[in-house]
Amino acid sequence: MSDTVKQKLMLDFPRCECEKPIIYHLVKDYDLVVNVFRAKVTPEERGYLVLDVTGTPENIGRAIDYVKTFHVIVNTTGKGVTRDLDRCTHCGHCVTHCPTEALRIGDPATREVTYNEAECIECLACVRVCPYGACASAF
């Protein structure tokens, strides 16, 4: 059995596919550990589901193929929460509000604020507190 990996997935539901228990099948059929960050899937509206899945690369690949059969757009590169580097002034107001240190002072000498998207759990605290409007949510 190959090693498990963690993969962030952003699922965009262009039209309602909410009658299918997608997460149930991800767990049951593809043996994935699922951690949902954000979800909004309601009838007659564009919906989204942002989650981490942990499993073998083969199973994750098969799970993505399965999800795609529902006309769901699967984004594996993230971008649920983005930082506009032109607007960020590296003031550091966000760093105490970010629970996972995805946003942190990367270089103690220059006080540059860095953003590691892989650590982001999309709590949106930075979107609320950034005085410069540098952080934004895709949804």
Partner 1 sequence: MKTYEQINDRIESGKAVVLTAEEIIDYVDRKGLAAAAQEVDVVTTATFGPMCSSGCVLNFGHSKPKIRMTEAWIQDVLVYTGLAAVDVYLGATQLRHGDSANMYHPGEFRYGGAHVIEDLVAGKTLQLFALSYGTDCYPLREIRTYFTINDLNQATMTNPRNCYQNYNVAINNSDKTIYTYMGTLEPQRKNANYCSAGQLSPLLNDPLYETIGIGTRVWLAGAHGHVYCEGTQHAGGGARTPDGVPTGGAGTLALTADMKCMKPEFVRGVSLRGYGVSLALGVGIPIPILNEQVLKRTCVRDRDILAPVVDYSHEYPQNTGKVVAQVNYEQLRSGRIEIEGKQIAVGSLSSYYKALEIANLLADEIRRGDFRLSQPLAYLPKDTTMKPLVAREKPA
Binding site for partner 1 (CB under 8 A): 86-87, 89-97, 105, 108, 110-113, 128-129, 131-133
SS3 116: coil
CB of 118 to partner 1, least distance (A): 21
**Which CB, 51 or 98, lies closer to partner 1?**
98
DSSP-derived secondary structure for 38-62: EEE--TTS-EEEEEEEEE-HHHHHH
CB of 44 to partner 1, least distance (A): 27
**Which CB, 15 or 97, lies closer to partner 1?**
97
Compute the Cα dihedral for 32, 38, 43, 47 and give only its sign: negative
- A 10 A CB-CB count for 100 gives 12
CB of 125 to partner 1, least distance (A): 9
Q: What is the DSSP letter of 115?
A: E
**Which CB, 18 or 105, lies closer to partner 1?**
105
Q: How far apart are CA 33 and CA 27, in angstroms?
A: 6
- A 10 A CB-CB count for 83 gives 21
CB of 139 to partner 1, least distance (A): 17
**Which CB, 60 or 134, lies closer to partner 1?**
134
